[in-house]
Structure 1
C-alpha cells in the first residue's frame, strides 16, 4: 500500500512540476511576443533626388517633431508689391524612435539642441514639394555643428520628411494685412546624418 501511495505521490508531484514549467514557459513566451522589435534604420529608397543625402553618410539620429510655426504677413524684400506669409520662427520638440524627447528645435537660424548639450544649425539647400498645399515641403539642410559634444556634434545634413500641416494659411495676407501673425501646428520627421 505504501509503495502505491509513494508512486501516486511521485506521479502527482512530477505532473505538478511539469504543469508549472509549461505554464511558466507559456507566460514567458507571451511576454516576449509583446516586445516590439527594434525600429528599422531609415533608408533613402523613396526620397526625392533633390533632397537625398550624398553617399558616404550614415544616419546619426532619427526623430519625429511636433511643434508650431510662427508666420508674419510681410512684403517681399525683392518685390515690395508681393506680399505673403513668411516663417519667422519654428518651435518643436523632437522624440527619438523610442518616444523619448531628445531635441528642441528653434530659430532663426534653424537650430536643433540635443538634451546632451550638442547642437547643429541648418542651412536649407533643397526642397521637394509635397502633394497638398497645406503640408510643408520636404527639405534638405546642410548642418554646421555647435561646440558641444554629443549625438549632434558631427551632423552634416538634416532631412525633413513625412511632413503634416504647417501651411494651412486660413487668414488673408494682403497689403492691408502687413504685420499680421499666424501660428500653425505641424509634424515632421527629422533625420540627422553624419559622415561615415
Structure 2
C-alpha cells in the first residue's frame, strides 16, 4: 500500500510540477524588485493558436489567446483570457503587457513571463497589481505545420500566476 501511495504522490508531483511559485527560483529577467506578492493562483486551460499566412506567404501557427481557469486551494476563483486579462471572482481584473521572458523547463512548455499591469477594473484584490509573473509552465507549446489558414488548435497548459504590487 505504501508503494502505491508513493507512486501516486510522485505522479501528482509530475503533473503539477512539484514546487509551487513560492519555492521557484525566478530568472533574472522576471524579477520585480521592490514588489511584494499579493496572490498566487494556479491556472489550468489552453493556449489557442490560429493558422495564418506569414509575411513570406507561408502558413504558420500564431498565438491567438489563452483560455484558463484560475484556482486557489483547488477552488475556481477566476479566469484568464485574451488581453491578457486576469479576472478575480471579487470583480477585480488586471490587464498586462509582456516586459520579460524566460524559457520553459522543456520545449513543450510555454515561456515564463513578466508582465506590467497596464489597466485595472474593480476594487478587489487585483486592483493595485503592478506586475504579473507566469511561472512553472507545463505544456502549451504547439508543434507541427498548419495546413489551412483560419484553422485553430488548442494546446493544454498549466501555470502559476503570481500577482505583485509595489510596497
TM above 0.5: yes
Q: 2:115 aligns with which of 129, 141, 147?
A: 141
Contact 2:104 2:136 in 1 (8 A): no
Deviating above 4 A after TM superposition, structure 1's stretches of 4 or more consecutive aligned residues are: none
Q: 2:148 aligns with which of 168, 177, 190?
A: 177
Deviation at 1:75, TM superposition (A): 2.7
Give the corresponding residue for 1:105.
80
Q: How many residues align?
A: 148
RMSD of aligned residue pairs (Cα, Å): 1.9
Tell me the TM-score normalized by structure 2: 0.80
Q: CA-to-partner distance for each residue in 1:96-129, whole Å, 9 max, x for gaps?
A: 2x2221121111x101111000000011111101
Tell me the TM-score normalized by structure 1: 0.69
The more displaced of 57-66 and 176-185 is: 176-185
- Structure 2 residue ranges without an equivalent (≥5): 1-19
Higher relative contact order (CA 8 A, sep 6+): 2
The 3-state SS of whatever aligns with 2:71 is strand
| Cα distance in 2 between the residues matched to 1:122 and 1:57 | 16
Q: 1:56 aligns with which of 19, 27, 34?
A: 34
The 3-state SS of whatever aligns with 2:90 is coil
Between structures 1 and 2, the one with greater strand share: 2
- Report the structure number with the largest CA radius of gyration: 1
- Structure 1 residue ranges without an equivalent (≥5): 1-39
Per the alignment, do residues 82 and 194 of structure 1 end up closer, same or farther by CA in structure 2, a change over 3 Å counting?
farther
The 3-state SS of whatever aligns with 1:42 is helix
